[in-house]
Amino acid sequence: MILDKFNLKDKVALITGAAGLLGIEHASALLETGATVILTDISEQKLQDTKKKLSNYYDEVKQNIILYVMDVADLRSIHGVSAQLKKNDIRVDILINNAAIDPKVNNKIDSLANSRLENFSLSEWNKQLSVGLTGTFLTIQVFGTMMSSDGKGGVILNIASDLSVIAPDQKLYENKLLPKNKQPVKPITYSAIKFGLIGLTKYVSTYWASDGVRCNALSPGGVYNEQNKDFVTKLSSLIPLGRMAQPNEYRSAVQFLCSDASSYMNGHNLVIDGGRSVL
Ligand X SMILES: NC(=O)c1ccc[n+]([C@@H]2O[C@H](COP(=O)([O-])OP(=O)(O)OC[C@H]3O[C@@H](n4cnc5c(N)ncnc54)[C@H](O)[C@@H]3O)[C@@H](O)[C@H]2O)c1
CB of 46 to ligand X, least distance (A): 6
Burial class of residue 117, CB neighbours in 10 A (0-12, 13-18, 19+): exposed
Helices (H), 59-187: 75-87, 109-115, 122-132, 134-139, 145-149
Q: Please pick, from the candidates 44, 49, 102, 150, the single residue that binds ligand X as defined by CB under 6 A.
A: 102
Stretch that binds ligand X, among 6-14, 166-174, 177-185, 220-228 (CB under 6 A): 220-228
CB of 114 to ligand X, least distance (A): 19
Task: Give the span between the Cα atoms of 258 and 30, in whole angstroms.
Answer: 8
What is the footprint of ligand X within residues 221-240 (CB under 6 A)?
Answer: 222-223
Task: Give the span between the Cα atoms of 115 and 104, in whole angstroms.
Answer: 10
Stretch that binds ligand X, among 38-46, 166-174, 206-214, 229-237 (CB under 6 A): 38-46
What is the footprint of ligand X within residues 181-210 (CB under 6 A)?
Answer: none
150 or 240: whose CB is closer to ligand X? 240
Q: Please pick, from the candidates 154, 187, 220, 274, the single residue that binds ligand X as defined by CB under 6 A.
A: 220
35 or 101: whose CB is closer to ligand X? 101
Q: Please pick, from the candidates 33, 36, 98, 216, the single residue that binds ligand X as defined by CB under 6 A.
A: 98
Size of the site for ligand X (CB under 6 A): 26
- Residue 39 contacts ligand X per CB under 6 A: no
What SS3 state is found at 169? coil
Task: Yes or no: say if 133 and 197 are a contact pair by the CB < 8 Å rule.
Answer: yes
Phi-psi region of 270 (alpha: psi -120 to 50; beta: other; left: phi over 0): beta
CB of 150 to ligand X, least distance (A): 25
CB of 132 to ligand X, least distance (A): 6
Task: Give the span between the Cα atoms of 267 and 245, in whole angstroms.
Answer: 24
Task: Give the span between the Cα atoms of 115 and 124, in whole angstroms.
Answer: 9
**b (16+ CB within 10 A) / e for 200-223:** bbbebbeebeebebbbbbbbbbbb
CB of 278 to ligand X, least distance (A): 16
SS3 breakdown of the chain: % helix, strand, coil, rounded to 5?
Answer: 50, 15, 35
What is the footprint of ligand X within residues 118-177 (CB under 6 A)?
Answer: 131, 135, 159, 161
Q: Please pick, from the candidates 15, 27, 73, 146, the single residue that binds ligand X as defined by CB under 6 A.
A: 73
Task: Give the span between the Cα atoms of 115 and 173, in whole angstroms.
Answer: 12
71 or 93: whose CB is closer to ligand X? 71
Task: Give the span between the Cα atoms of 261 and 278, in whole angstroms.
Answer: 25
21 or 83: whose CB is closer to ligand X? 21
Q: Which residues bind ligand X (CB under 6 A)?
A: 16-17, 19-23, 41-43, 46, 71-73, 98-102, 131, 135, 159, 161, 220, 222-223
